[in-house]
Amino acid sequence: MKNTISHYGWVTILLHWLVALVVIGLFGLGYWMVDLGYYDPWNKKGPDLHKSIGITLFFLMVLRVLWKKSQIKTQPLINHSNTEKKLGHFVHSFLYAALFVLMLSGYLISTADGRAIEVFQMVSIMSFGQLFTDQEDISGMVHKYLAYVLIFTVFLHALAALKHHFIDKDKTLLRMLGYRATKH
């Protein structure tokens, strides 16, 4: 269940893949819904679903950060160079930060008019209203462009995992799939 110095526990693995799937799904939904016409039945459903999943992702990410802070740091494999270690740390830090900024900007877009966000029509997340001039437009630009940067970084992250698996032939990817490496 818990991380060790040489492998990730199943909670870390589950949170990693769940966040990855949700982020990719939210990007796809966001990309699709920007072209919806005013009279399209999904013109309201799409954004409502996007907001609900985004708020859920926020709480999932808070849980992920708390879990990560409570765990032993799984060490890179011994064949990883210092450059790979530093780059890996930077990319992971960027992914976390970008996700939180993306979710915050989404919240600011959705609540600029003072209305709460209805999460799956079960819970309301209150609005602080308009906190700065042009909040919806500025937050919208941040949200849009950061989403593209984030999904590109996710793509590079996946390519790096595949590089480790197929070229370096190490256990980096396998560890995030539940394989327990004996060497670190």
- Quote the crossing angle between the two packed helices 10-33 and 42-70, to the nearest 10°: 160
> Residue type at 137?
D
Enter the tokens of residue 168.
């370096």
Sign of CA pseudo-dihedral 141, 143, 148, 152: positive
40 belongs to a structural domain: yes
Tell me how many domains the chain contains.
Answer: 1
Distance, in Å, from the CA atom of 2 to the CA atom of 97, rounded to the nearest integer, reads 24
Q: Which residues of 107-146 are buried (b: 16+ CB within 10 A; e: fewer)?
A: bbbbbbeeeebebeeeeeeebeeeeeeebeeebbebbeeb
110 belongs to a structural domain: yes
Q: What's this model's pTM, rounded to 2 decimal places?
A: 0.94
121 belongs to a structural domain: yes
pLDDT at residue 179 tops 90: no
103-128 confidence digits (pLDDT tens): 999 999 999 999 999 999 999 999 99
181 belongs to a structural domain: no
184 belongs to a structural domain: no
123-166 confidence digits (pLDDT tens): 999 999 999 999 999 999 999 999 999 999 999 999 999 999 99
* Averaged pLDDT for residues 94-111: 98
Its domain, for residue 52, covers 10-176
